[in-house]
Structures are given as C-alpha cells and as structure tokens.
A and B are shown apart, each in its own frame.
Chain A
C-alpha cells in the first residue's frame, strides 16, 4: 500500500513533442504528490506538486494531471526541449511527511 509505481522507465521524445510520465498509488491517505527532476551529478530538485483537491496544476510547460478515483497522476511536459533531458521522479506523502518515491523515468529529448 505504500508503493508508488512509475512508468515508463525510460522515454525518448522528439524536440517540441509532449512527454508524459505516469504514476499510480494505492494509499488513499496520501495527500501530497510532488514531481522531482534530477540532472546527472546533481540531487533531485522539486519541479511541481499537487494536492488531491485539484485535478490539474500547470507551471509553464509542466502540468500535473491528477485522477483521484483512479489513484493516478501524471506529468506532462509540453514543447519538450533538450534541456528537459533528465530523470523524473514522482512521489507521494501523507500525514507523516515521509515521501514515497517512484522508481524514476529517464527522459531523453532528441534534437
């Protein structure tokens, strides 16, 4: 019940295309769903986050879509750029603040 399942494991998208990464969770007590971005040689950094009381949140080219009934959430990157090439992690947490992480998606944007 504590797992967060992330897919795909890797993704190749053409420059200008839409990158979509999906995550699913089981624990209905989770109430915070962040996405982190990690570049090689760096630690992860918070990209965008959502609470379950909204179905979508957009920040620039990055959008989180949230489906509470399906217990799924996804990250969409519009107009993907080579600089977006990184590993993306979804995560979830509940009242104890401990983040449960997905396994990560390595995104490559081809010029």
Chain B
C-alpha cells in the first residue's frame, strides 16, 4: 500500500462547479498535512496546510479526518485557472528533518 494515495482523475468539471478530492495516508503518526498545486511542467506550490479543525482559504476548504486517515480538498465555484494537478502531502514522522511524502496527484480540468 502506498503511503499516500490519491485518485489520479482527471476530474472534468464545468466552470462554477464544486469539486472534492480525497487522499488517504497510511502512517497514523503523521502530523503535518498539505495540499500543493502543480501546473503542467511547473514546480509544486503550496496551496494550503491542513489543520485538524479544518480550514478555509477563499474558495478552498481542507479537512482532516485522523480517525480514518484521510484528507480532503473542496473547491467551490471552480475557475478555469484551477485546472492543475493537486498533490496531497503528508510528513513521515522522524526526528530531525521532516520527510514529506507526496501523493501522485489528482488532475483537475475545468472547462468553460
């Protein structure tokens, strides 16, 4: 089983739609969770950190369910510019350097 698993998609949605991605992780001791966004042929960039109580940043909402070991990302009112691959990232708990484990990503295509 992969440490971080995501549905690769693609998710094809029209502009204005709401779309949700899930991600599961295997290490119950993980404590840091992130969603990164990666545009085609570009570097990953942090979209948002994910906190236990859930957090929102504009149209984006992230949730963490520790009991079930999954993380979700909800995008409301999708824009064409939201088309990208969304990477779920979880830390592998160790002392010293924080090793991040990256999912393979979920691709989102928003069409007019």
Q: Do A and B form a real pair?
A: no
Chain B positions within 8 Å of A, measured between CB atoms, are: none
